Chain A
Amino acid sequence: MYDAKKIVPGILIFVVLFTFPLWSNLGKAAPAPKPELPTTEKVCVMDTAYMKTEHMVLLNQWRDLVVRDANRLWVGPDGREHFMSLQNSCMKCHSSKVKFCDQCHTYAGVTPYCWQCHIEPKENM
């Protein structure tokens, strides 16, 4: 191999630099988010597993159902009826955006633009 003296250290340096974020964070993982659940209600409009992964899909669906098709009520899997509204339903139970929404959103580094129009509960204003 030509220039092994340069190439091997070069590769080594590259590998070290490339994996820097991995080993520099070793052992100090960011704490898992702890969204605070409402005390007033036990069940959401869908089951917890679904809400965890699909709430954004559901919110999009709600938006179309309400704004475009004039529906207002959502019948959950348990047969209970809910008013479809981010501001007037979701945030009634999850009354703190900071302690609920922001927990995971900050952790995951996402900034949903819902709040550019929809008004969050008073605490943050």
Chain B
Amino acid sequence: MEKDRREFLKIGGISVLGLSALPVFQALAQQQGPRYKPDPNALQGAQWAMVVDMEKCWEEQEKRQCKDCILACHKTHNVPDIPDPKREIKWIWLEEYKHAFPDQAHEYAPQKVKESPFMLLCNHCTNPPCVRVCPTKATFKRAQDGIVMMDFHRCIGCRYCMAGCPYGARSFNWGDPRPYLKTEEINMTYPTRRKGVVEKCTFCYERIDEGLQPACVEACKAKALIFGDVTDPNSEVRKILSDHYSLRRKVELGTGPNVYYLI
């Protein structure tokens, strides 16, 4: 009896050791077989950020009711145009000053600021509450560049993230979004979403990973949207931020938003 148990433990121990060597074997197998790698053109940054120059944006809005960035983003990502405000899907949208900056808005602010709409999108927070509450890690912060990503495959539609996000940056698909997309306008290179999934701006990870700027930045003719690495002191965003006073939304919540507004 005694001897049997010892034998059993020995065999068990050896098996466990063998199992722990599995990753090594797999890594070795990777060497000969197929491998994968990032696109060498991918943009590199430690924390992507965006500066929204509202003066330039307003100028363009006045000139021709410009919505180029919204149209570009929503077309690129097959974001449906649902008229019902309770079901609408938005990745980048316009919002009044008092709703965008409820903590700073006061009645004596310049008329222009009070009356002009601000361009809002996901802030790709440094400390994102949406990521903390997601039970499936469908939404996660990319370690390499700080993008707050959505893995739509993994979303179970619990909407905790929507409750967690203090900026209203997330939308829920209450139904199949496809009927709201015009067939001829669908971007065939990007998926749609399905019923029961949350979506939001992803800072165009799919473009960044191929070396392109976000679609909205590329579309803005007024150069009111500037994208870059906020940890790099030589980046354009940093230069702008050190030359101008900027605002961020609801900083007191400690989320560390990475979208900066110039007014």
Contacts and interface: CB of A to CB of B under 8 A. Distances in A.
Contacts of B42: 70, 72
Interface string B134-157: 000000101010000101110000
Given A77-B34, A125-B183, 19 more contacts: A45-B34, A67-B149, A68-B151, A70-B142, A70-B144, A70-B205, A71-B37, A72-B42, A72-B210, A73-B39, A74-B34, A74-B36, A75-B34, A75-B35, A75-B36, A84-B36, A87-B191, A113-B194, A119-B191
A84 B35 CA distance: 12
Nearest to A80: B34
Interface string B73-110: 00000100000000000000000000000000000000
B33 A71 contact: no
Contacts, number: 61
B186 interface: yes
B170 interface: no
Nearest to B151: A67
A71 B140 CA distance: 16
Contacts of A70: 38, 42, 142, 144, 205, 209
Interface residues of B, number: 28
B193 interface: yes
Interface of A: 45-46, 63, 65, 67-68, 70-77, 84, 87-88, 113, 116-119, 121-122, 125
Contacts of A71: 36-38
Nearest to A58: B34
Contacts of B210: 72
B188 interface: yes
A99 B36 CA distance: 29
Contacts of B36: 65, 71, 73-75, 84
B189 interface: yes
A60 to B, nearest CB: 9
Contacts of B37: 71-73, 75
B192 interface: yes
A35 B190 CA distance: 25
Contacts of A72: 37-39, 42, 209-210
Nearest to A45: B34
Interface in B139-186: 140, 142, 144, 149, 151-153, 183, 186
